[in-house]
């Protein structure tokens, strides 16, 4: 996605996106199963920059399970 590509530019891009108020929109999209897979990379970049966002991510157990599932897939793929 375009947002993910932008966030890949580095911490300054994540900071800019957060300061522009992208966080509530990402949280809202996370509620949709359709967009969850795309949001894993976005969440990873946000959490790497601002760990205080973890509180909002863990409020919904479904988010945690989905996020951890993708982390495990990445770990298993890299070990193969």
- DSSP string covering 11-71: HHHHHHHHHTT-HHHHHHHHT-HHHHHHHHHHHHHHHHH-GGGHHHHTTSHHHHHHHHHHH
Q: pLDDT tens digit string along 19-59?
A: 999 888 887 887 777 776 777 788 888 888 888 877 777 77
Binning pLDDT at 50, 70 and 90, where does residue 13 land?
A: very high
Phi-psi region of 61 (alpha: psi -120 to 50; beta: other; left: phi over 0): alpha
What's the chain's length in residues? 80
Higher pLDDT among residues 68 and 17, named by residue = 17
pTM recorded for the entire structure: 0.67
Q: pLDDT tens digit string along 56-75?
A: 777 766 666 767 776 676 54
């Amino acid at each position: 996605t375009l947002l993910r590509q932008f966030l890949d530019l580095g911490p300054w891009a994540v900071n800019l996106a957060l300061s522009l108020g992208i966080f509530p929109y990402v949280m809202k999209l996370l509620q949709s199963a359709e967009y969850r897979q795309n949001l894993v990379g976005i969440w990873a970049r946000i959490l790497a920059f601002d760990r205080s966002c973890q509180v909002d991510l863990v409020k919904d157990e479904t988010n945690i399970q989905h996020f951890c599932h993708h982390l495990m897939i990445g770990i298993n793929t890299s070990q193969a």
